[in-house]
Structure formats: C-alpha cells, structure tokens
Amino acid sequence: MFSYTKKEIVMLAQELNVQKQTLEKVLRLIDVLDFINTDKYLKEKLALKGGTAINLTFYNYLRLSVDIDLDYIGSIDREQMIIDRGLIETKLLNYMQESNMQYRNDKTKKTHALDSFVFNYSSMFNAKDMVKVEINYMNRVHLFDCEKRRITLPAKNDIEVLTLNKFDLFSSKMTALIYRTTIRDVYDINNMIKNRTINNDGFILFKKCFIFYLLLSSENKIDMKTLFEKCKKRMNAFIGKRVPQYLTATLKLNEKFDINTAVNNISILLDTIIESIINDDDEMAFIKSFPNISVQLFENDLIDEKIKNHPMINWKQSLLK
C-alpha cells in the first residue's frame, strides 16, 4: 500500500531533481506494480512493458513515465485468458479502491484486445490527478521469456517486477515510434542508442524482433522503407521546436533535451536497419509472405514456433481465408 508522506516526496523530488507532483504519480504506479508482483494470482500473469518498464528498470527514473502498460502472459489458451481477464479486473479494481483511487468507468475503455482502466486520486499537493493502467490480452506470446527486473525505490526497499525481455521491450518501443512517433518515443529510443542498451552483438537479433513487432502491429501489407521514411518525416517536424511541456514535466528539472541530435541518431539507426533488411533474403521473404510464414525469421526453432502459434498471427491468417 502507498506509504510515502508529503514530506518524503518533496525531499525525494529535490534529490532526484524532478517535479514533486509527477514523482508522486510515479511512486503510486510503483505501488500498484508492487501489488501485482506480490499477489500470488497476478504475479505470473502480467508483464510490464513500454516507457515505464524502460525508465524504471533500465534507466533509473531518467524519464518519469506516468502510466502502466502490461501484457497478459498467463495462458495462450483463449478460454483460460477470458477467465483470467475477469479475475484480474476484479483484483485490480479492489486494490485501487483500497488505495483511495476512484475508478472512472466513463473513461475506461475495453476492446477485444485491450482493457484501459483510468483512476482518479487526490494528490498530496492539492490537485486532482489520474493514473492509467492498460492490459493487452492479444499479445500474450513473446519472443523471449519475460524476466524479473528491479525497480530502485528511494528511501524504501527495492521491488522486483516481471518485465518483457529487453529485445521484446525495446523492439516493441521502436514499433511504437514508427507508427505513432511521439516525442516521448523519440526520447526513449534516443536513450537506448546513447546508452548502447542494444550493443553491436545484439543488433541482428534486435532487428529481427523489430521486424516481427512491426508486422504484428500492421493492419495491411507494409513497405518497410516507406514506413521508415514517413516516421523520419514526422520526427523532422520536431526539429527546431520547443520541447512540449508534457515531456519536460517528466524529465530532470535541468535537462536540456537535444531534439535535433535525437532525431539524427534515430534516423541513422533506421537507415542502418533498412539497409540490413534489404540485404537479407530470408527477412525480405518473411516480410513479403506475412502473415503467412514462408521462412524462419530467427532460425531458432523455439522462437519460430512461438511466432507460428502467436494468437495475433493466427487471427491475421484467418482473415485471409
């Protein structure tokens, strides 16, 4: 249960050099993650992904990502997933109520693939605020096994959270950059490049994961080169403009985010990736035939079997019949 006092948050915000109200929200999110990862029923069924996973478990509060994105990994079986989905919702809503979080049914969205829950709370700093928890139920198979990663908690005991493997995590973040191209995606991927989170030895594996998630997220056949050029064009629109307040509110107070350099770094990476794809016949064949699987993408029987049986791929294949 959330146990920070207002005084502690003010002191921690000064220590971390971040906005205190944003820090409070992140600490509340961490409390929810701690609940999920200590509950006997939930802890092996939900894996953290997205900007919160990246910035809390890899970069130690470099950006205060302010929502929770989870993938359901409990079972590939659809019937079991449906049973779990109802129980997960009940447990989450009960815990949020105990934590004085007001469930916003009018803001919550539910689709076949996704539950997006919104909760309001009264901040310690005399403001109304909200948190969002999203759970994806279609992407319940990942290329690599999820792993426990540590979140360092200022003035408290660290916690461990089940998180996507870094190749799944960062390649899906790159996919988000390609399709939506938000400034926070640019920020996170630039940090991946600067920190060499994916080193040279891991490039080919990362590229193949990226191909997989790009195709998985596409609605139609895609031309990779055209897709990358459109993303670069959207990124170029950020150049020379002021960093949006919604991003600066989540960064260190004295940080000067160099958008120009970030866009250039990512553009170089995209050019390197597309050149490598074009020169790989198997990757080009995989892209061309998708969602039908004509060749192995990874040349790893375990991973390629996961791809073959992935619920989203099976669904995409059914649409072609």
- Model confidence over 162-183: pLDDT tens digits? 999 999 999 999 999 999 999 9
Residues 140, 29 share a domain: yes
- 8 Å CB contact between 202 and 262: no
CA distances from 120 to 108, 127, 234, 307, 308 (A): 11, 11, 33, 38, 41
In the chain, the percentage of residues whose pLDDT exceeds 70 is: 99
Residues 299, 219 share a domain: yes
- Model confidence over 287-298: pLDDT tens digits? 999 999 888 999
Residues 234, 121 share a domain: no
Residues 96, 144 share a domain: yes
- Model confidence over 45-81: pLDDT tens digits? 999 999 999 999 999 888 998 899 999 999 999 999 9
Residues 108, 240 share a domain: no
pLDDT band at 318 (very low <50, low <70, confident <90, very high): confident
Taking residue 103's Cβ as centre, other Cβ atoms within 10 Å add up to 15
Number of domains the chain contains:
2
Residues 265, 173 share a domain: yes
Please compute the mean of the pLDDT values over residues 83-87 and round it to a whole number.
97
Domain boundary, last residue among 134, 164, 194: 164
Residues 305, 254 share a domain: yes
Q: What is this structure's pTM?
A: 0.93
Domain boundary, last residue among 164, 198, 215: 164
Is the omega angle on the peptide bond into residue 311 within 30 degrees of 0, that is, cis? no
Range of the structural domain that residue 129 is part of: 1-164
Residues 309, 207 share a domain: yes
Residues 248, 188 share a domain: yes
Residues 6+ apart with CB under 8 A from 292: 317, 320
Burial, 233: exposed, middle or buried (Cβ in 10 Å; 0-12, 13-18, 19+)?
exposed
